[in-house]
Structure 1
């Protein structure tokens, strides 16, 4: 009868059940014979429920009448597990630019990068990141994990660094306006073992290293052309003036593909073979 002014709080070991009011619906001789008890329930702490999405707090109830008879029941409170949420992140790096780039897949961005905050929920811990992989390759947290174009080092607290391999031919071939991407997947786990995954996408922005050039070395000086041969050498075995030698300087800072000589295409593979053949 005093619950309206003097609530009763019961610690269930999992939460606090507070009886807040009683409404009598029937009585005999001024003594209540039935009614409704109002209550509130407050969960005390996150529950450790590995691999489960819910748990319960089962509170035993007993009623006893004036004649000594009794009945029992349970008040069951369903507790829904608060699972983690991982959000996809992005970052970018320039070819031949500053490397490594850094960020944090768990915390929100503080530098304009594409870091998006993740959420562990009520079951939080200080090392939320528990795994990282690139395609089918599982990495080790705190150690570099090779992608197609560089290396990602992801730490248990979510911080990371990415080193671009500027010696990779596919990276070096990029021109300004071109780009490549590679995607890493990481795992976020809360304190009671619930896990989820998200991705970190790295975009590599190209940089034109310089225009290609091809120049035949000038061996003639002020004379016409870059080199000279003499017809006289054609009729004399001892005279080899019908033949000469020289060099052609080539430069392709974005990576050499091929050259053309009088309409004949010479590929990079052909050029590499010149070094091992006597021409």
Structure 2
């Protein structure tokens, strides 16, 4: 079989006997050897009777058997091109077959023309000398050799001894398959699976002289020197033993680290086995360790946070993920608003909070306490926050997973929203205005409406009074559903308040939601005092007195002193705390006596005058003297009372009021004047 083919994918020559050739970068035809790689779309020639084994990049293999003599390719890795088929001369074919089988073709050649005669110029006893005629016949090679240059070979000094020639040595290829997932960092750590044992069979009739693997000696001077370890980039090949009876070389390959599978999910470490037999013949084969990529995988993650959690929750999204042997990490996080590359930013804003996440999967989720959506959650209500994260390993393998945060509502306490003015009121005691007795009804009632809100959806609020409803000055009421309150002043209870007195009544109000959380507000009612009229409490008797004129008792002339003074004490009260008052009376023209009252004590007195008015009173005659007395408090409110004094007359001794002159008379006797004798009649009568 010979032909020209084009490789449809990369293929490595793992076994070869014969010639496979291809053009190099300079356009020269070169022969390939075991370990060389046929690149995709490369054209190559296969010599007649060449045997080989190829391993494709996808892990499959093909041999010369898959390429038949009619240039039909039974493997998908190659396609045939037009080739030239020549008929091989039967004699040449027979000679090639004998040589390949190890026979000496000269043993079967016909006798030569030489005999035992003495040699002449061109002949001798054992040979015939044949002169060169200049003609030559070129043996058919079995394929078109146009375009190839003849290679000068080294002249063999002597012909080989075909009787001692052994078959060419051969080595079988061998392969093992391991998985990155079994590495300690892999998705399925399993130390036992990281080493696999296999064997290579050798056929070497002449005996092994030397054997190397990747240049490391395994046989030296025909002796096995193992166990031998051949390190590689990601593992090691250990040649553990050689069975000379069955010609089996036993080895094991151990995978130590992950490979970069960026180009393919299956990569191989190749170990070139080169055997030299005792004839100096060399054969090669490939031991292949195929490493299957490990990819990350995982499960979606969940976490939970309560509405009132201000610190946030911690976690690691990789805790339940499998990173694989290539050590995946978080590279990207996506939300409904877009994706964020963790290489540039690790703070991701969500609908209800923010996620801070690192490439190693550690994260903190913190709620946005200012979110109205969060605050509106009632007890037990839930909303969900999700973040999609991308897990990518060193090879570029990736998997997308989701972190879901469950946010559970907590009961929020209600908040009082009514203002200070809504919780304040004023009442005024009824009384009189300052400076007089003008009455004022005051303001007996005040009210307001308390308000509250609860951010929780559907919250039910109830108002309650925590203080006594009845106070020293009035009654407080509260509507538990509406928060409407009122205070009604009792004037009787407030009478003690003086003008200017201020008393504050405080009431603690609580608003409570259906789960018992509450808020409080204090309602303050200011009670203002008003001046009250002082009241006179003295009796009529206290305001009544009698005096008796001095004189004589009837039927006699014995003088009696009479009762010339009287008095009493007027009293008053004022309900106002600390009130003070004073007494006064309205002066009047009165000649019967004198009235006076102590401004502080209310003690009054009356003294009967000793004058003609009083004296004029006959015995038993009475005359009432009245005095208007006023008690006035410090703010001008007043009350009055009349004090009555009864003056009783007594009999008086009549008094002679005529003068001495009135009671003196003279009479003159009739006679004559002195010094004369003329009779005078005299003044015989007198009177007065």
Q: Same fold (TM over 0.5)?
A: yes
Displacement of 1:206: 0.7
- Relative distance call for 1:220 and 1:189 in structure 2 (3 A) is closer
1:225 is aligned to none
CA distance in 2, matches of 1:214, 1:7: 88
- Cα deviation, 1:40-88, whole Å, max 9, x if unaligned, reads 1123432222253221012222334333334332111101223233332
2:290 is aligned to 78
From 31, 38, 44, give the equivalent of 2:250: 38
SS of the equivalent of 1:118 reads coil
Q: Is the 8 Å Cα contact of residues 304 and 407 (structure 2) preserved in structure 1?
A: yes
Q: Is the 8 Å Cα contact of residues 310 and 369 (structure 2) preserved in structure 1?
A: no
5 Å matches for 1:9-88?
Answer: 9-25=229-245, 35-50=247-262, 52-88=264-300
CA distance in 2, matches of 1:36, 1:153: 59
Q: Is the 8 Å Cα contact of residues 307 and 410 (structure 2) preserved in structure 1?
A: yes
Matched, 1:197 2:409: no
Q: Is the 8 Å Cα contact of residues 330 and 389 (structure 2) preserved in structure 1?
A: yes
SS of the equivalent of 2:278 reads coil
CA distance in 1, matches of 2:395, 2:413: 55
Q: Could you list the runs of 5+ residues in structure 2 that have no partner in the other structure?
A: 1-221, 428-447, 460-688
Higher relative contact order (CA 8 A, sep 6+): 1
- Cα deviation, 1:76-111, whole Å, max 9, x if unaligned, reads 1101223233332221111122232222223xxxxx
Q: Is the 8 Å Cα contact of residues 262 and 396 (structure 2) preserved in structure 1?
A: yes
- Cα deviation, 1:202-222, whole Å, max 9, x if unaligned, reads 11011122479999x899999
TM-score, length-scaled by structure 2: 0.28
- Cα deviation, 1:9-44, whole Å, max 9, x if unaligned, reads 22344432111112234xxxxxxxx62111011234
- Cα deviation, 1:163-196, whole Å, max 9, x if unaligned, reads 2123333322211121111111112223333322
5 Å matches for 1:92-103?
Answer: 92-103=304-315
- Relative distance call for 1:248 and 1:24 in structure 2 (3 A) is same
CA distance in 2, matches of 1:78, 1:157: 30
- Relative distance call for 1:78 and 1:218 in structure 2 (3 A) is closer
From 366, 374, 393, give the equivalent of 1:163: 366
- Relative distance call for 1:140 and 1:60 in structure 2 (3 A) is closer
Larger radius of gyration: 2
Displacement of 1:200: 1.3
- Cα deviation, 1:87-141, whole Å, max 9, x if unaligned, reads 32221111122232222223xxxxxxxxx3433333237xx22111113511243
CA distance in 1, matches of 2:233, 2:413: 72
Q: Is the 8 Å Cα contact of residues 102 and 160 (structure 1) preserved in structure 2?
A: yes
Q: CA RMSD in A?
A: 3.5
Matched, 1:139 2:340: yes
- Relative distance call for 1:198 and 1:9 in structure 2 (3 A) is same
Q: Is the 8 Å Cα contact of residues 386 and 403 (structure 2) preserved in structure 1?
A: yes
SS of the equivalent of 2:247 reads strand
Matched, 1:152 2:355: yes
- Relative distance call for 1:130 and 1:250 in structure 2 (3 A) is same
Q: Is the 8 Å Cα contact of residues 214 and 250 (structure 1) preserved in structure 2?
A: yes
Displacement of 1:201: 1.1
2:451 is aligned to 249
CA distance in 2, matches of 1:37, 1:48: 30
Q: Is the 8 Å Cα contact of residues 169 and 255 (structure 1) preserved in structure 2?
A: no
5 Å matches for 1:107-256?
Answer: 116-124=319-327, 128-135=329-336, 137-141=338-342, 142-210=345-413, 249=451, 251-254=453-456
CA distance in 2, matches of 1:8, 1:218: 96
Q: Number of residue pairs matched? A: 213
CA distance in 1, matches of 2:424, 2:260: 83
- Cα deviation, 1:124-165, whole Å, max 9, x if unaligned, reads 37xx22111113511243443222211112122322221212
SS of the equivalent of 2:373 reads helix
